[in-house]
Structure 1
Amino acid sequence: MGSPISIETLAKDGQFSAYCAKPAGAAKAAIIVIQEIFGVNPGIRKKCDDWAAAGYLAIAPDLFWRIKPGVELDADVPEDFQAALALMGQMDQTLAIADIEASIHEARALIGGGKVGCVGYCLGGRLAFMTAARTDVNASVGYYGVGIDGLLGEKHAIAHPVLLHVPKADHFVSPEAQAAMHAGLDDHPKVTIYDYDGLDHGFAAEMGQRRDAAGAALADSRTAAFFAEHLE
């Protein structure tokens, strides 16, 4: 359903690729789909296609382009998993937010100035929280974001609604980190956190061994309702 597009950086010093899926008719709004550490792989492209089928313009920028363009890795392949961790370690997250912001500008232009949301997974869940604090995105969703407890100093800058999906058995986010997220964000007027008992990191992946179909369906239904309320 989708196809590659090129987006110019905010600094006007380069271009990067993104997967863009367009709805059949006029877009209700746009959604930036923020990749996991595995790149813009088939699972991320499917998420874009699904949002397009629901009436949104969906764009997934390649956030590893400065390190290695066109990364597509499989979470279930140990060598790919290690390669993904190495790429994450090399990423400049401040530049990644700038690329997400450039993608927001591109999305707004493509839909004629409407609202733009973002949804991210894993690394993308963390970046979605940072995007909420550092850009004018209209609504943000983060699935199993890692290290959000270390970003709570930015919560004062969140001006638009944020939804966070937190699997309680996430082996990358300790119970202490989850408790810190709740302590820091439960009273924030713009932030909603949903916990998922017994679910682990990656439960909403579109394909592969990490997916939990029931958990993914519940979280995705909440995300769809959230975007319908805040973007349409």
Structure 2
Amino acid sequence: MTGMITVKPLDGDAHFDAYSAEPAQTPRAAIVVIQEIFGVNAGIRSKCDALAKAGYLAIAPDLFWRIRPGIQLDPDVADQMQQALELMGQFDQDTGIRDIQATIQTAREKIGGGKVGVVGYCLGGRLAFMSAARTDVDASVGYYGVGIDNLLTEKHAISHPVLLHVPEEDHFVDKDAQARIHAGLDDHPKVTLYNYPGEDHGFATEFGSRRSDAAAKLADERTAAFFTEHLGC
């Protein structure tokens, strides 16, 4: 079953929307799906639906609700890409992490106190790394997170498993930044990094011109195995 639910933020009495996909059977774990800069669009909802088919409760919070609630954008449309970049410039990531924590709590309540993971893409990949350091999430996966090399001082707060997918030709994360990420995280006992030679930012998107099918399937297989191991579902 799929549909919209509401989540209460940590800092007030308001509520924000989240897309929820429930499995056919009672879920043993939940995964919070963290959006790109394009909102909870068709691609993010499809990610949730796939996770539900795999047996998880999947919830994608609308992290732009404080700016433009309900926004859904297509990265292949130039003016919508520009809108997304403008929204990103207005987005407060620290507040976003608190909204992710609120969503984690909601997900955990819905499954009766079981384990909760997060998986994020682009902006969401960065926020997944931040969530590993700042929330009580049980396992985190980030796809092509931008600016993780500037967050390495937070690595000491990571106590649960983290998986990062790093495309080597990411035009938002240059080779020097990738080298800093590896230097900072390769020896971290809780962090696993996979490189994808020849792949660019957005290679694992569900739809559109950015998708690189073979690499996307490989990354998703690794993510599935990671969550099976660490969430027990």
Pairwise same-fold verdict (TM > 0.5)? yes
Shift of 1:106: 0.2
Task: Report the counterpart of residue 93 of structure 1 in structure 2.
Answer: 93
- Percent of paired sites with the same residue: 69
- Comparing 1-10 with 43-52, which one deviates more in the overlay? 1-10
The aligned length equals 232
Task: Report the counterpart of residue 212 of structure 1 in structure 2.
Answer: 212
Task: Report the counterpart of residue 50 of structure 2 in structure 1.
Answer: 50
Q: Does 1:156 find its partner at 2:156?
A: yes
Distance in 1 between the 2:133 and 2:13 partners? 24
TM-score, normalised to structure 1's length? 0.99
Task: Report the counterpart of residue 196 of structure 1 in structure 2.
Answer: 196
Shift of 1:80: 0.5
What letter corresponds to residue 7 of structure 2 in structure 1? Answer: I
Task: Provide, for residues 28-71 of structure 1, a one-character-per-residue CA deviation record: whole Å limited to 9, x for no partner.
Answer: 20000000000000000000000000000000000000000001
TM-score, normalised to structure 2's length? 0.99
Distance in 1 between the 2:14 and 2:183 partners? 40
Distance in 2 between the 1:67 and 1:196 partners? 34
- Once the two structures are superposed, the pairs formed by residues 110-189 of structure 1 within 5 Å of their partners are 110-189=110-189
Distance in 1 between the 2:202 and 2:208 partners? 10
Q: Does 1:106 find its partner at 2:106?
A: yes
Distance in 2 between the 1:22 and 1:163 partners? 24
Task: Provide, for residues 110-133 of structure 1, a one-character-per-residue CA deviation record: whole Å limited to 9, x for no partner.
Answer: 000000000000000000000000
5+ residue gaps, structure 2, are: none
Shift of 1:221: 0.1
- Once the two structures are superposed, the pairs formed by residues 25-36 of structure 1 within 5 Å of their partners are 25-36=25-36
Distance in 2 between the 1:79 and 1:12 partners? 34
Distance in 1 between the 2:48 and 2:134 partners? 23
Other structure's SS at 2:4 match: strand
What letter corresponds to residue 54 of structure 1 in structure 2? Answer: A
Shift of 1:12: 2.9
Consecutive aligned runs of 4 or more in structure 1 exceeding 6 Å deviation: none
Task: Provide, for residues 99-157 of structure 1, a one-character-per-residue CA deviation record: whole Å limited to 9, x for no partner.
Answer: 00000000000000000000000000000000000011000000000000000000000
Other structure's SS at 1:101 match: helix
Other structure's SS at 1:180 match: helix
Q: Does 1:67 find its partner at 2:49?
A: no
Shift of 1:13: 3.1
Shift of 1:14: 1.4
Shift of 1:11: 1.7
